[in-house]
Chain A
Amino acid sequence: MQPANNIEDIHIGIGEYKVARSPGRLVTLGLGSCVGVSLWDPLSKIGGLLHVMLPNSRDFTKINKKEKYADLGIPLIVKDMVRQGADRNRLQAKLVGGAQMFTGVDKKQLFNIGERNVEVSRKVLKELSIHIVSEDVGGNKGRTMYLNLATGEVLIKTLGKNLKVI
């Protein structure tokens, strides 16, 4: 994957990741129980954004796309960022999403994948010794997130609420 040279927003689809260098923004739209993991190196200004769908690949027998899972996707994006010139020790992580979107859910159904996506993402980042500098997780609203590659700021959009920067 080549770093983008233009200043357009670069979109990250469901269960995908992208890496780019400043200027510009990495965007993922409509995170529900999914978690957006952004990583940013303040010196090289290389950033990455991963759209995690599920916590553990171990819960499934057939894996087509590693990027969908927190346990496989996070090491993958980190490796790619380092390959493109980011310093692993400088990476700053931010976590967004992991909401419970539905009402009427039976507690026993263990429906709260959002919470588990957040937990496993935290655990994998810790194992890689990557510092989480801020989070906007949980709750019951969908979120869109923008990672500004020049500043490392993450802008969060929620329907019916004000924009938030973390």
Chain B
Amino acid sequence: MGEPSNLSELHMDALREISNIGLGHAATSLAEMLDSKIGIGVPQTDFISFEKVIEIIGGYEELVSCVSLKLEGDIKGIVLYIFNETSTYSLVDMLMGLEDGTTSELDDIATSTINEIGNILTGSFISAIGNFTNLKVFPSTPIFAFDMLAAVFTSLIIVSDQPEGDNVLIIETEIFRDDKKVNGYFFLLSEPASIKKLFVALGIDA
């Protein structure tokens, strides 16, 4: 993502607001699906380097799960969701209504559960952006990996068609169900033209 230094505080505020609204929608969808109270923490939004991303999540060889969807339409790019090993298992327990600590490995059902989270979060974000801006965005079906963070993350950066971009938009948040909490990271990698389109649609000079 081109030159994040060109983004003012106003731009970052707009992205934060969109993230907040998007995650709010996501919480509502999840709550309906699970018939239970779902909370989502205030998202932290920032543009950071790939190395910084790896450091924040826990290191190059950290075992993580990752769901990614490709975006087509007015905004082109990829979104990805990353959960570390412990959060992955807690998330599965939370979503499947199991006692925390039940899940300790990933089977097909657990994998589809995490993929479904990617679908719901992305769908909610896209509809939030759509409601605000009339931009049309179409997500692909999710792809999934459970392995070393650096291996997973760089493999995705490569297919984002932005090999020379060195920064990504990171949104870090927490998902709560009752008193249980799971940490997750959400990333958007997009081309500068798409980001510009988003700001223009929001009424901010890009």
Chain A residues packing against B (C-beta within 8 Å): 13-14, 29-34, 53-54, 60, 62-65, 68, 99, 101-106, 111, 113-114, 141-144, 157, 159
Evaluate contact between A113 and B159: CB separation under 8 angstroms.
yes
Please determine whether A32 and B61 come into contact, CB atoms closer than 8 angstroms: no
Chain A neighbourhood of B51, CB < 8 A: 13-14
Given A31-B151, A101-B147: A60 touches B158 (CB 8 Å cut-off): no
Give the A-binding residues of B (Cβ under 8 A): 50-51, 60-61, 63, 68, 111, 115, 140-145, 147-155, 157-159, 163-164
Docked Cα-Cα span, A143 to B148, in Å, equals 8
Interface centre among B50, B115, B145 (most CB of A within 10 A): B145
CB distance from B166 to the nearest CB of A (A): 8
Determine if A30 and B143 form an interchain contact, defined as CB atoms under 8 angstroms apart.
Answer: no
9 additional contacts, CB 8 Å, given A30-B61, A106-B140, A113-B155?
A: A30-B149, A32-B150, A32-B154, A53-B157, A99-B151, A103-B143, A104-B142, A105-B143, A111-B143
Q: Which residues of A contact B163 (CB under 8 A)?
A: 53-54, 60, 68
A104 vs B151: C-alpha distance in the bound complex, in angstroms? 17
Say yes or no: A34 contacts B154, CB within 8 Å: yes
Docked pose: A107 CA to B33 CA in angstroms: 31
Report the Cα distance A54→B148, complex, angstroms.
19
Interface residues of A, dominant DSSP: loop
Q: Measured between alpha carbons, how far is A141 from B61 in the docked complex, in Å?
A: 12
In contact, A113 and B158 (Cβ under 8 angstroms): yes
The residue of chain B having its C-beta at the shortest distance from the C-beta of A110 within the complex is B159
Closest to A105 in B: B143
Taking CB atoms, residues of chain B closer than 8 Å to A142 are: 61, 147-148, 150-152
Residues of the B chain whose Cβ atoms lie less than 8 Å from the Cβ of A31: 150-151
> Which residue of B63, B115, B152, B164 is within 8 Å of A101 (Cβ)?
B152
CA distance A62 to B145 in the complex (A): 30
Known contacts: A102-B68, A113-B159. The answer to whether A64 contacts B148 by CB under 8 A is: no
Chain B contacts for A34, CB-based, 8 A: 151, 154-155, 158
- In the complex, what residue of chain A is closest to B68 when comparing beta carbons? A102
